[in-house]
Chain A
Amino acid sequence: MIQKWSYPLAAVILGSSLLAACGNAQTQTEEKKPEATQPDKPAADQSATASTAPAASPELQASIDQYRKWVVDQTDQFVKATESFTTAVKAGDMEKAKKEYAPARAYFERIEPIAESLGDFDPWIDAREGDVPDNEWRGYHKLEKALWETKSVADQGKVADQLLQDVKQLRVKVESVEIDVPMLVTGAVELLNEVSTSKVTGEEERYSHNDLYDFAANVEGAHEIYKVLKPAVTAKDSALASEIEARFADLDKALAPYRKGDGYVLYTELKEDQVKKLSQSLDALAEPLSKMGKIVGG
């Protein structure tokens, strides 16, 4: 998850009430601050983009439906994988839990923008230590710390139960998620931005160093969006479509040397110039991908 949750809600409320005593004008401007620092207010964002976007053409609607089906399928598999992972944690089977951790998370990383649009699932499932107040911290990364850092899951039963419950609730919500074209277009870029801001820097999986799993999963999620939008992009700007495809292929090639078995090497095994090359390949893809919005409007 991105660092947007670093603004603690409690501090916001406290700040506002203190300022309320300091005069109206200032209060009004200051009170807007929390909103600005939390750009992922799902409901507001979604309705804003939805209201400005024209109704999707039948072709685009078909793309949306195709994507929704894929998201539901990913979430189904996410539930199963999380079930198996949390069972291992609760049984104290550290080895099994460590093995299943990264592959299970990949399902979430592929659909992250959708999950983020549905409320607090991202901080519940994917917050890193320090993203939220310590007493609210839960989810995968809390278990990551237990597995790799403190090396004990003895007291993690509750965290595991809560995680599974959150993931199951996500599955329920995904059924009714509103998806429109702007969401897809921005979602694809957001997925790559996730990679740029945390995965490529090794900050996401700070205990397990499984960042490349997340890297690949985010890219796969963006690729899935591109695939469903490809006919529309090609129709509007075929040069852009070929550019995007070439860059996806380049990035795939850049990642290839780090595949190991079913997964990836640890982030800590990468050399500085290898990280730089991955990061630059990602930027090379994200730039043309950010122009997919062309399919909407003139």
Chain B
Amino acid sequence: MNDKHLANTTANKITRREALKLAGVGGIGLLLGATGVNSLLPSPPKNEQTSATPTGADEVIPFYGKHQSGIITPMQDFICMGAFDLTTTSLGDVRSLFQSWTQAAARMTAGKNVDEESDNALLPPVDTGEAMGLRPMKLTITFGLGASFFDERFGLASKRPAPLVDLPRFNSDEMRKEWSGGDIVVQVCANDPQVAFHALRNLARIARGKAVLHWLQEGFQRTSASDPTGSTPRNLMGFKDGTNNPQVNDPATANEVVWAHTAESPAWMAGGSYMVMRRIRMRIEVWDRSSLTDQENTFGRHRLTGAPLGKANEFDELELDRQDAKGKPVIPVDSHVALAHMEGKVKILRRGYSYSSGMDLKTGQLDAGLLFICFNRDPRKQFIPMQQKLASVDLLNEYITHVGSGLYACLPGASEGGYIGDTLF
């Protein structure tokens, strides 16, 4: 059962020198969170295309640390995300669930089975087995708590963080309860969909009798193999998505944008962050028959290059006040990029994936879209005002519907010997 682990020991040994070398040619941000070396390095130029192959796509991202991994960790290729509802009403059960989950998550992210197997053949195998012999593939497992966790059941109502509000209803939301909320969220990301599924499945198995799945959604983006340059991924509308993401490999930026502060959050959240999930269904068929002009005006960017309208390169500066010969803004004021820019004052860390859930049996159309995920320090000042603006006028709204939603307090990281949630429970 250890062969998986053994197979990886060599792959995981990345020396400091290799780290520097990789980061030097990079822009992939490979090592963020993996070695800690990254913070010593200058931010790689974000618009530099490289010919590097996706080295290290199979490595280990350490589970323990001040922050949970999977937040400022550079995005892996796949996500398998689930929300759980607690069926137990005992805080002791919740504590032991998080202890078991922490132990299992630490093992699985290191590329090991969920636990040691027994030699009693009359017992079901401890691990479900589909990840046997597979490498760790940068697996990260991130735990968060929804607002409903802080109701009367566990006596923790007074501990509910102020930023963990009930999200308001935004214009044209069509929320469905089966895609929203949940007491606990578990975000599993990896560079292999089977490794990701295996992790969530085993966590769900451990939870049986204490918590049940409320929703589960898998997602993907282009893999590091099909785009070794690590350029900005495209969403299912064909546009580059995430160009303006804050550079969170700069600790000061991460601190400002992502990590909870005691100024607005309770002490138990120090080192944590708030995650927003939105299941955004795209009206794929409608989009596909829209003209290129409409599509580009909707995003405010050129489809091919990702450059702001009127510019040549993806990372060229966004000049929202630029006007054409007739005095009209080059980038429409109600385009997605113009609205989301928020005068450059409000930032969120986006970490979303595309999803495809087959077809809508009612309409025969594709059920696909964006599993939007973002992290922010205080959604009341970041996500919510941004989404309020987007929901009211964004041209994109013609082509999308928000059908699921959740806001979760992602717990601080745990140190070895501790467990995720030990600052709260």
Contact = CB atoms under 8 A, between A and B. Distances in A.
Same complex origin of A and B = yes
Interface of A: 52-53, 182, 185-186, 243, 246-247, 280, 283-285, 287-288, 290-291, 293-294, 296-298
Interface in B54-91: 87
B121 A294 contact: no
Classify the secondary structure of A's interface with B. helix
A290 B205 CA distance: 12
B209 A52 contact: no
A288 B208 CA distance: 9
B209 A290 contact: no
Question: Interface residues of B toward A: which range?
Answer: 10 to 19
A293 B123 contact: yes
Classify the secondary structure of B's interface with A. loop
A296 B208 contact: no
B122 A182 contact: yes
Given A290-B124, A296-B122, 17 more contacts: A52-B121, A53-B122, A182-B122, A243-B209, A246-B209, A247-B209, A283-B208, A284-B209, A284-B212, A285-B209, A287-B205, A287-B209, A288-B208, A290-B123, A293-B124, A297-B119, A297-B122
Given A243-B209, A287-B205, A288-B209, A296 B120 contact: yes
10 contacts: A52-B121, A182-B122, A246-B209, A247-B209, A284-B209, A287-B205, A287-B208, A288-B208, A291-B123, A291-B124
A52 B123 CA distance: 13
A284 B208 contact: yes
B135 to A, nearest CB: 28
A247 B121 CA distance: 24
A297 B120 contact: yes
A297 B212 CA distance: 32
A283 B207 CA distance: 11
B133 to A, nearest CB: 22
A60 to B, nearest CB: 13
B209 to A, nearest CB: 4
Nearest to A276: B212
B327 to A, nearest CB: 56
Contacts of B120: 293-294, 296-298
Nearest to B212: A280
Contacts of B205: 287
Nearest to B126: A291
A272 B120 CA distance: 38
B122 A280 contact: no
Nearest to B85: A280
B209 A293 contact: no
Contacts of B119: 297-298
B87 A294 contact: no
Interface in B100-133: 119-124
A298 B119 CA distance: 9
Nearest to A286: B208
Interface in B206-224: 208-209, 212
Contacts of A243: 209
